[in-house]
């Protein structure tokens, strides 16, 4: 295997960088700054960054098949027109609660949007537990609650045969799997496929490679771990120069680059001086594997 390199490519520090999505047609990286209330697009060809302000916390952004994007802002799922910076409501979640916000979201292999919630953080970073849920949004914008009593709804991915859904509720310190029913998108048979080890921090966002293995960002762990979900074996660790590693996705011309987001919010002055790149987005090369193209929401 070639040597692994880690390079800071988006040097505009985010408070909570999250949810990277590679746009193949434009060779751009789409991601959000949750607490900074912005959606960013970074061009790998021009090294320029464009941004849209969302006016509230933004947990995720994904491409929309009909054009533009769909983002999770506050507790609303919005259509985003990039050129006009206009946002149009499509659906709401957690309508029975006022203390939650959308967090991670991703499009499944069939064009549905899955998105989760969590309690809003206190000024000191504390959250009330078991306030979150996981939802699916179909093409007709019907919203279905798949899970409740969630602490911090985070990483979402699917197996190559589309029959297994991988999920992270961060405070459980596990990566879980469910049987996934393609027609309805229903979940069954929850089980643990990986349990975090001492020093690995909290599991956060994740992605898959073409071999069906998972790459999991480790918040407060300063790394991304590569795991085989069929055996639960950790295959590789990629160390980053920041502790609050939040999510990752594959991209680049041939999908062999791993892009990794990070956060700076919650670091004290001493930690910030030791981690001057906190909040940046990184490109990891030389992993010897490739990822898959992102999917668009069909609603």
Q: What is the mean pLDDT of the chain?
A: 96
Q: Is 231 exposed, middle or buried (0-12, 13-18, 19+ CB in 10 A)?
A: exposed
178 against 123, higher pLDDT: 178
* pLDDT for the residue numbered 245: 98
The residue-averaged pLDDT of 56-73 equals: 97
The residue-averaged pLDDT of 168-186 equals: 97
Residue 18 is assigned to a ligand binding site: yes
Sorted by sequence, the CB contacts under 8 Å of residue 272 that are 6+ apart come out as 264, 278
Residue 209 is assigned to a ligand binding site: no
Domain assignments of the chain as residue spans, ordered by start: 5-285
- Please state, in angstroms and as integers, the Cα–Cα distance from residue 242 to each residue in 44, 60, 133, 224, 264, following that order: 22, 21, 29, 11, 9
* pLDDT for the residue numbered 201: 97
- Read off the tokens for 257: 């680059």
Tens-place pLDDT, residues 233-245? 999 999 999 999 9
C-alpha–C-alpha distance, residues 202 and 196, integer Å: 7
Residue 56 is assigned to a ligand binding site: no
* pLDDT for the residue numbered 299: 86
* pLDDT for the residue numbered 2: 66
Tens-place pLDDT, residues 83-135? 999 999 999 999 999 899 999 999 999 999 999 999 999 877 789 999 999 99
Sorted by sequence, the CB contacts under 8 Å of residue 281 that are 6+ apart come out as 8, 9, 10, 14, 17, 20, 29, 31, 42, 259, 260, 261, 262
Residue 101 is assigned to a ligand binding site: yes
Residue 220 is assigned to a ligand binding site: no
Three-state DSSP class for residue 64? strand
Tens-place pLDDT, residues 185-195? 999 999 999 99
- State the CATH architecture for 5-285: 6 Propeller (2.120)
Considering only CA atoms, give the Rg of the chain. Answer: 17
**Active-site residue list:** 204
């Amino acid at each position: 295997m070639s040597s692994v390199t880690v390079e800071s490519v988006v040097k505009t520090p985010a408070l909570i960088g999250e949810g990277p999505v590679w746009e193949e047609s434009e060779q751009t990286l789409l991601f959000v700054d949750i607490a900074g209330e912005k959606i960013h697009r970074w061009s790998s060809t021009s090294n320029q960054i464009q941004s849209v302000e969302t006016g509230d916390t933004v947990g995720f952004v994904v491409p929309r098949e009909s054009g533009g994007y769909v983002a999770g802002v506050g507790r609303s799922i919005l259509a985003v027109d990039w050129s006009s910076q206009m946002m149009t409501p499509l659906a709401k979640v957690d309508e029975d609660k006022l203390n939650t916000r959308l967090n991670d979201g991703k499009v499944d292999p069939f064009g549905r949007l899955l998105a989760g919630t969590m309690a809003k953080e206190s000024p000191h970073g504390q959250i009330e537990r078991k306030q979150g849920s996981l939802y699916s949004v179909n093409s007709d914008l019907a919203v279905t609650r798949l899970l409740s009593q969630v602490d911090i709804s985070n990483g979402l991915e699917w197996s190559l045969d589309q029959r297994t859904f991988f999920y992270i509720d961060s405070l459980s310190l596990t990566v879980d799997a469910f049987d996934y029913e393609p027609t309805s998108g229903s979940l069954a048979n929850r089980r643990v496929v990986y349990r975090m080890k001492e020093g690995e921090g909290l599991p956060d966002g994740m992605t898959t490679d073409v071999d069906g293995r998972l790459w999991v960002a480790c918040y407060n762990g300063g790394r991304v771990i590569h795991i085989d979900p069929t055996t639960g074996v950790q295959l590789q660790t990629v160390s980053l120069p920041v502790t609050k590693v939040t999510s990752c996705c594959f991209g680049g011309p041939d999908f062999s680059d791993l892009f990794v987001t990070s956060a700076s919010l919650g670091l004290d002055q001493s930690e910030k001086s030791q981690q001057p790149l906190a909040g940046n987005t990184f490109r990891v090369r030389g992993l010897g594997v490739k990822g898959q193209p992102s999917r668009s929401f069909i609603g």
